[in-house]
Structures are given as structure tokens and as C-alpha cells.
């Protein structure tokens, strides 16, 4: 995802550092309408984190999805038992499809 404000997650966001999060534009519009989300604190049940960046909106659930709030956490700070990867592809002459 392309960053539209602040910075993205990088190798400097270590497990023992202050917790950070990057949100997408839809997340910022929903939770901080008309306000700058950078530097705001939030807690989504994983502990408090500071918003360090805003990423452009993408298509998350399907190709027609436009306004789905998403937060991205550094993997070193937010360990998960599994990770989902989603790919978008299209065969020549066919409409793009998304697979998980």
C-alpha cells in the first residue's frame, strides 16, 4: 500500500519499542473524521498504539469494496499465530479475481 501521510512500518519498529500502527484512509475517516490521525492513540484490544502513518485505501474483501477500515501493525510488535496473504490476478481476457 502507498503511504499518503506519515511513514510506513519498517525494521526500526522493534518488539521492545513503543507500539505503532498504520491505518488506511477509511479507518481515519471513520474514527477521526476531519482530524489528522497522526500521533493519535488507539486500542483495538491489542494494547495501545500510536498512529504513525496513513495508507491509501485498497480492496480488502472484494473488488467492489471501497470503504473498509484497516490497521497494519509491525509483525515484531504484534505476534500472530498465522498470517493470511491475498493475491489479485487475472488471466488474459478475464476479469481480475482475488484469492486468499
Q: Which residue has the higher pLDDT, 7 or 73?
A: 7
The residue segments making up the domain with residue 22 are: 3-99
Report yes or no: 38 and 5 within 8 Å, Cβ to Cβ.
yes
For residue 86, pLDDT beyond 80? no
C-alpha cell of residue 1: 500500500
**Average pLDDT in the chain:** 81
pLDDT digits over 24-60, tens only? 999 999 999 999 999 999 876 767 899 999 999 887 7
Upper half-sphere CA count for residue 90 (Cβ side, 13 Å): 6
Q: Is the dihedral of CA 61, 4, 36, 16 positive or negative?
A: positive
pTM here is 0.73
Task: Decide if pLDDT at 83 tops 70.
Answer: no
Mean pLDDT of 65-90: 73
| Structural domains of the chain, count | 1
Amino acid at each position: 500500500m502507498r503511504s499518503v501521510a506519515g511513514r510506513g512500518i519498517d525494521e526500526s519498529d522493534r518488539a521492545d519499542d513503543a507500539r505503532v500502527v498504520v491505518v488506511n484512509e477509511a479507518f481515519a475517516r471513520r474514527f477521526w473524521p476531519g482530524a489528522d490521525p497522526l500521533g493519535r492513540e488507539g486500542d483495538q484490544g491489542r494494547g495501545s498504539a500510536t498512529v504513525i502513518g496513513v495508507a491509501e485505501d485498497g480492496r480488502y474483501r472484494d473488488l467492489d469494496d471501497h470503504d473498509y477500515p484497516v490497521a497494519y501493525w509491525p509483525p515484531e510488535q504484534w505476534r500472530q499465530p498465522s498470517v493470511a496473504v491475498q493475491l489479485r490476478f487475472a488471466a488474459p481476457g478475464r476479469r481480475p479475481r482475488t484469492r486468499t
